[in-house]
Structure 1
Amino acid sequence: MLAIVLENAPARLRGRLAVWLLEVRAGVYVGDYSVKVREMILQNIEEGLEEGNAVVMWSSPNETGFDFVTLGENRRIPIEMDGIKLISFLPDTK
């Protein structure tokens, strides 16, 4: 399983993702692909994200059952503690 959530992403990136994945809500995409295809999709997101941000989650054989990465500027950043990925918040800059 692969899930992607986009915020403030360009329309052309959203359209490109809709070719491979089902957009179940605005900016939320799901699908089920191999590692190779997932890496290609991640590369497309990195190249086309511009000022937006994204979180990409996929099934993984670990204790939580999934893994994820964040892309672009976001207050939420992944950190690893005792072998488990958690989310940390950066201070609000406003």
Structure 2
Amino acid sequence: MTLVLTAAPPGLRGDLTKWLTEISPGVFVGNPGARVRDRLWARTVQLCRDGRAILVYSSDNEQGLEFRVHNHDWQPVDLDGITLMLRPSAPTTSTARTTWSTARANRRSRRPGWAAGGGGSTRQ
């Protein structure tokens, strides 16, 4: 299993090192049984109130793993038996043009036929 913590209290990190190995700050790995894993997760959720946590562990399914999240932006979503992580979409700012540029409007108004509503050039 792999457990990743963000903004977790130091006491929780120390508590997790009894069962797991911390390979990087906030990243714990290990191979406890299901009962210990579930209790570690419950303890993590209890102590990591404002922080974030994500747990990935092996499971007997198509992917061979499952996810659990706490206060995380990314959420696991089941799609036809395969769990994918749904990333929240960033707020988009529309860059679509709502009006033509002033230069284009000036060019169009100087063309013969456009100002009169003829719709085209007056070349013959």
Letter in structure 1 aligned against 2:16:
L
Write the distance in 1 (CA, Å) between the matches of 2:87 and 2:65. Answer: 20
1:81 and 2:79 matched: yes
Q: 1:56 matched to which residue of 2?
A: 55
1:92 Cα deviation (Å)?
4.4
AA matched with 2:52: N
Offset at residue 68 of structure 1 (A): 1.1
Superposition pairs of residues 2-41 of structure 1, within 5 angstroms: 2-41=1-40
Compare the two structures and name the one with the higher strand fraction.
1
Structure 1 vs Structure 2: percent identity of aligned residues?
33
Listed one character per residue, the Cα deviations across residues 47-85 of structure 1 (whole Å, up to 9, x for unaligned) are 10021011111111111111111112x221111101111
CA displacement at 1:89 relative to structure 2 = 1.8
Q: Any idea what the Cα deviations from partners look like across 1:13-67, whole Å, max 9, x if unmatched?
A: 1111111100001100011111111111011001100210111111111111111
Unaligned runs of 5+ in 2: 92-124
Report SS of the residue matched to 1:68.
Answer: strand
How many residues are treated as equivalent by the alignment?
91
Query: In the alignment, which residue of structure 1 is the partner of 2:65?
Result: 66
Gaps of 5+ in 1: none
CA distance in 2 between partners of 1:63 and 1:4 (Å): 21
Q: Which has the higher contact order (CA 8 A, sep 6+)?
A: 1
- 4+ residue runs over 3 A deviation: none
TM (norm. structure 2) is 0.69
